[in-house]
A and B are shown apart, each in its own frame.
Chain A
């Protein structure tokens, strides 16, 4: 049915998933930094974080990806030329994951900020009053509850980012979409292969929803269901 191209497509899925997972880790780092900056007392940090989330969310992902990919290349080689190094070819995997992580870090900033703000301030003050250190308050009071509040937004961002990984094929990464276009060209059956990867994306989405739903139920155990309306 797939003229023997199925293993090649599935290998592309491996690339797609690695891009998605590495980008997610990068996005979590940017998101946590952004959320702490937005909630910090320093107006400079708040300003930088505000500009970061506003500008990133005002531009298409693809444009940002092209800017990081080409701009990073030029910048890196200017540095390299100044130091007398050889020409550096920026790795598409690196460019793709850094861009996706940077872009979705802006969205996660808002998710994490909201999750931290959802924790009653009194609990943190009570923790300090009981003599807990800042680290203990963070580890035992803030983070466990923050995870619970952040999961719905986190799930949403993960699903959007998973789909956005399809764009890395445009900057030349050999992901599932690129494999599908190769197989389409070779077999002259583009519908078959694009529909196949569409179905694979849908399966990964479905599994993610189920897994993160189970995680949400797990971290919410012991929480009374909120009264509706």
Chain B
């Protein structure tokens, strides 16, 4: 049923596609995380001048399809002569950079909202206790506020990273050869589903499992205090006692 020679011949192409998917995922996830942390703080600030622009940004990004955002950046921006003549043009005409930019903006918006939610649910007593203990503002932020918010955000952030990985498949629409593009090309050449889209599905499935496993490990580490079994202080090996008669 499955033509294994096609699978074998196309394996290197899929492997390169996987590397491209990972490159897009990791580079936009890192940039998104770096942007989302300060934006989330601004989003939950008391001043409306800090809050509203960030909300406007996340609302627009979250309210429009990623495909349209990608097309606006890749096909849309060159409409303006200013951009075609600017120093940024060599980067902005590059499909890879456009895809990276679209994914980064997208994940920044979602991550900002996740972190802002985690910040909003910070128990005020935690902060007050830390201040009462004489910790400075910087210490409170670094040692109390941020670790707590990060722990609360972690499960949702893990979902967001899996969604971002799936979203990188849209890069195939702007000529980038990642996993899905390889699958589509193999389909065009051989017109066989399992060897083309089936293979791509296997790669995405494994990637999803690896990412969810990774985040489960992170949750086990950071949310250890919530696990009723792990939080018990480790005891020495139980001494074997004779069963009750």
Which residues on A are within 8 Å of B, measured CB to CB? 55, 58-63, 66-67, 70-71, 74, 159, 163-167, 169-170, 177, 180-181, 184, 188-192, 194-195, 197-198, 201-202, 205-206, 229
Which residues on B are within 8 Å of A, measured CB to CB? 59-60, 63-69, 71-72, 75-80, 121, 123, 166-167, 169-170, 172-173, 180, 183-184, 187, 193, 197-198, 200-201, 204-205, 208-209
Cross-chain contact A201 with B63 (CB below 8 angstroms):
yes
Cross-chain contact A60 with B204 (CB below 8 angstroms):
yes
Quick one: closest A residue to B207, CB to CB?
A: A58
Q: If the complex has contacts A166-B65, A191-B79, A202-B64, are A62 and B197 also in contact, measured as CB distance less than 8 A?
A: no
Cross-chain contact A55 with B68 (CB below 8 angstroms):
no
A74 to B197, CA, bound (A): 13
A169 to B198, CA, bound (A): 22
Chain A residues whose CB sits within 8 angstroms of the CB of B60 once the complex forms: 202
Cross-chain contact B79 with A192 (CB below 8 angstroms):
yes
- B interface, over-half SS: helix
Shortest CB–CB separation between residue B118 and chain A, in angstroms? 14
- A interface, over-half SS: helix
Cross-chain contact A55 with B167 (CB below 8 angstroms):
no
Quick one: closest A residue to B21, CB to CB?
A: A60
**Contacting B79 at CB < 8 Å: which of A70, A165, A190, A202?**
A190
Cross-chain contact A58 with B205 (CB below 8 angstroms):
yes
A56 to B230, CA, bound (A): 32
Chain A residues whose CB sits within 8 angstroms of the CB of B173 once the complex forms: 170
Apart from A62-B170, A194-B71, A201-B64, what are 18 other A-B pairs with CB-CB below 8 Å? A55-B205, A58-B204, A59-B208, A60-B169, A63-B183, A63-B200, A63-B201, A63-B204, A166-B66, A181-B75, A190-B72, A190-B76, A191-B75, A191-B76, A198-B64, A198-B65, A205-B63, A205-B64
Shortest CB–CB separation between residue B203 and chain A, in angstroms? 10
Cross-chain contact B64 with A191 (CB below 8 angstroms):
no
